[in-house]
Chain A
Amino acid sequence: GAGVSQSPSNKVTEKGKDVELRCDPISGHTALYWYRQSLGQGLEFLIYFQGNSAPDKSGLPSDRFSAERTGGSVSTLTIQRTQQEDSAVYLCASSLAGHGRNSPLHFGNGTRLTVT
């Protein structure tokens, strides 16, 4: 079946502009995760959702970052007033029940964000 889909695959934006990144999880997956990966660096946890709720937002780097999930499905990660240090690949993953429930994550291929 279809995997996790992210759009756009690439986004170039000017410093100071807002961007929205979209994630379509695997159908029926209740948990959804956002990570980012800067060039040559490891995976940095941002936020995860169980249904439409976000039990843990601790990884969001600043108040310029926000995420929402509607209908227990699609999620949007919004970055306001983008800065050059926001340039990274933003990865989304979904899980049938959540990683702590013996349910592994399935990742999309990410959105490569470049802030000029």
Chain B
Amino acid sequence: DAKTTQPPSMDCAEGRAANLPCNHSTISGNEYVYWYRQIHSQGPQYIIHGLKNNETNEMASLIITEDRKSSTLILPHATLRDTAVYYCIASNTDKLIFGTGTRLQVFP
């Protein structure tokens, strides 16, 4: 799996868009970009994934640069319940390894 780099922490005001960056400059052509999050005291939750094209679902949008070396997870209208650790993973293998992620704090 390609190494990913994320900022250790970010803040976001409630109701604003949260844009979480991820760098994966060594990603290979068949590695997907996955995002998960872990809210305190719960198991991780799958958010979204993509290969080349931008993706959107009911939770978030994923923007992948054309060269695929970085991506951004967008939570369009952050709420207090979005406070969590967000993990970006670039992978094409069954063995899934989590890094340290970005701790997003949404404040009122």
CB distance from A31 to the nearest CB of B (A): 6
B33-77 CB contacts (< 8 Å) to partner A? 34, 36, 38, 42-46, 49
Task: Say yes or no for A106: interface residue by CB 8 A criterion.
Answer: yes
Contact in complex: A105, B46 (CB < 8 Å): yes
On whether A48 and B46 interact (CB within 8 A), knowing A42-B100, A104-B34, the answer reads no
8 Å CB contact of B92 from A50, A93, A100, A108: A100
Number of residues of chain B lying within 8 A (CB) of chain A:
21
Contact in complex: A99, B94 (CB < 8 Å): yes
Contact in complex: A91, B96 (CB < 8 Å): no
CB distance from B100 to the nearest CB of A (A): 6
Task: Say yes or no for A55: interface residue by CB 8 A criterion.
Answer: yes
Contact in complex: A107, B43 (CB < 8 Å): yes
> Which B residues are in CB contact (< 8 Å) with A48?
94-96
Contact in complex: B96, A42 (CB < 8 Å): no
Task: Say yes or no for A65: interface residue by CB 8 A criterion.
Answer: no
A98-116 CB contacts (< 8 Å) to partner B? 98-102, 104-110
Contact with B along A27-53 (1 / 0, CB 8 A): 000010101000000110100101000
Task: Say yes or no for B32: interface residue by CB 8 A criterion.
Answer: yes
Q: How long is the Cα–Cα vector from A87 to B92 in the complex, in angstroms?
A: 31
Nearest first, the 9 A-B pairs at minimum CB distance are A107-B43, A98-B94, A43-B98, A104-B46, A100-B94, A100-B93, A99-B96, A107-B44, A109-B43
Residue contacts A-B, CB under 8 angstroms, 5 given: A4-B43, A48-B94, A93-B44, A99-B96, A108-B43
